């Protein structure tokens, strides 16, 4: 499913964010990525949907080698992955409904299916009554949930989330985690960077800890392991 071999990433400004990453994640796994701020978690995650290109190393996602991925194939890769961005990345002039529908429009889904799937997923994240709002009319947590809805609406095999509960109150966080557990139970792989000790220590899953661009710990049913 996901395979990284000796991955290095040095940004244009000379900062080395990843320093030899080796990891394998199987289909259906639920993985937390933890580590201090600036450790390279977001960079690690951005590799997978090609927002960032590795400087060196071998990277396979969904059985596809990204080393020699053509520019034209990038949209296809991204359609197979649901991404929840640290800063949401919602289209500011579109409504909640239109934002979520966009992910289905790019894959040529029929209008009838789009309507049904969007309404279903809005139900799931509890935003059915705000379908016609635009992002600036929503709270941070609500925007977060829209971004989650967009990521999962086309049933991708892999969902990647960068601090999906970073802006949510504890109650909503747990509800979101329930959604993740649910789609994980259906066989979806989930990779999630997080700073939430409570979540990691309560819902026990595989934990990958990154520090200074290296994996320092990889544990099944692991702990958060850092004191805040």
Partner 1 sequence: MKFRTLKRHLREGIKNIFRNGWMTVASVGAVTMTLVLVGSFLALMLNLNHMAEKIEDDVVVKALIDTTADDSQIKVLGDEIEQIAEVDSVVFSSKDEELDNLIEGLGDSWRLFEQENPLNHAYIIKATDPQNTSSIAQKVASLSNVDEVTYGEEVVQNLFKFNNYARNIGIVLILGLVLTAIFLISNTIKLTIMARSKEIGIMKLVGATNGFIRWPFFIEGMLLGILGSIIPIVGILVGYKFFENNIQQINTIGFVELLPYNPFAWQLSAILLATGALIGIWGTVMSVRKFLKV
Ligand X SMILES: Nc1ncnc2c1ncn2[C@@H]1O[C@H](COP(=O)(O)OP(=O)(O)OP(=O)(O)O)[C@@H](O)[C@H]1O
> What DSSP character marks residue 124?
H
Least distance to partner 1, CB of residue 47, Å: 14
Give the residue among 39, 96, 192, 75 at the shortest CA–CA distance from 21.
39
| Residue 15, binding choice from Mg ion, ligand X, partner 1, none, Cβ under 5 to 8 Å by partner class | ligand X
Q: Cite the DSSP H helix spans in the chain.
A: 41-48, 74-79, 96-105, 111-125, 140-152, 170-185, 197-202
Q: Of 153 and 215, which has the nearer Cβ to partner 1?
A: 153
Which residue from 43, 167, 172, 188 is in contact with ligand X, where contact means CB under 6 A?
43
| Residue 37, binding choice from partner 1, Mg ion, ligand X, none, Cβ under 5 to 8 Å by partner class | ligand X
- 42 counts as binding Mg ion under rule CB under 5 A: yes
Which strands make up the sheet holding 56-61, listed edge to edge? 16-25, 2-10, 56-61, 64-65
- 144 counts as binding Mg ion under rule CB under 5 A: no
- 196 counts as binding Mg ion under rule CB under 5 A: no
Q: Of 43 and 154, which has the nearer Cβ to Mg ion?
A: 43
Phi, psi of 68 (to 5 degrees): -115, 40
Q: Of 108 and 129, which has the nearer Cβ to partner 1?
A: 108
**Count of residues that bind ligand X according to CB under 6 A:** 12
Decide if 2 contacts 23 (C-beta within 8 A). Answer: yes
For ligand X, the binding residues (CB under 6 A) are 11, 13, 15, 17, 35, 37-43
């Amino acid at each position: 499913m996901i395979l990284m071999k000796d991955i290095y990433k040095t940004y244009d400004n000379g900062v080395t964010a990843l320093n030899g990453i080796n990891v394998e994640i199987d289909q259906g796994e639920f993985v937390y990525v933890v580590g201090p701020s600036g450790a390279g978690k977001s960079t690690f995650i951005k590799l997978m949907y090609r927002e960032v290109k590795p400087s060196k190393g071998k990277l396979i996602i969904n059985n596809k080698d990204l080393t020699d991925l053509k520019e034209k194939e990038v949209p296809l890769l991204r359609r197979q992955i649901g991404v929840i961005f640290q800063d949401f990345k919602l289209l500011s002039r579109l409504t909640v409904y239109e934002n979520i529908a966009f992910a289905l429009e790019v894959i040529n889904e029929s209008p009838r299916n789009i309507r049904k799937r969007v309404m279903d997923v809005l139900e799931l994240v509890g935003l059915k009554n705000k379908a016609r709002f635009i992002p600036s009319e929503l709270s941070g947590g609500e925007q977060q949930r829209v971004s989650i809805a967009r990521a999962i609406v086309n049933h991708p095999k892999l969902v990647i989330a960068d601090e999906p509960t970073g802006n949510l109150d504890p109650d909503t966080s747990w509800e979101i985690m329930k959604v993740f557990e649910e789609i994980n139970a259906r066989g979806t792989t989930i990779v999630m960077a997080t700073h939430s000790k409570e979540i990691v220590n309560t819902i026990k899953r595989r934990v990958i800890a990154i520090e200074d661009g290296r994996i320092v710990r990889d544990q099944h049913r692991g702990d958060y392991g850092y004191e805040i």
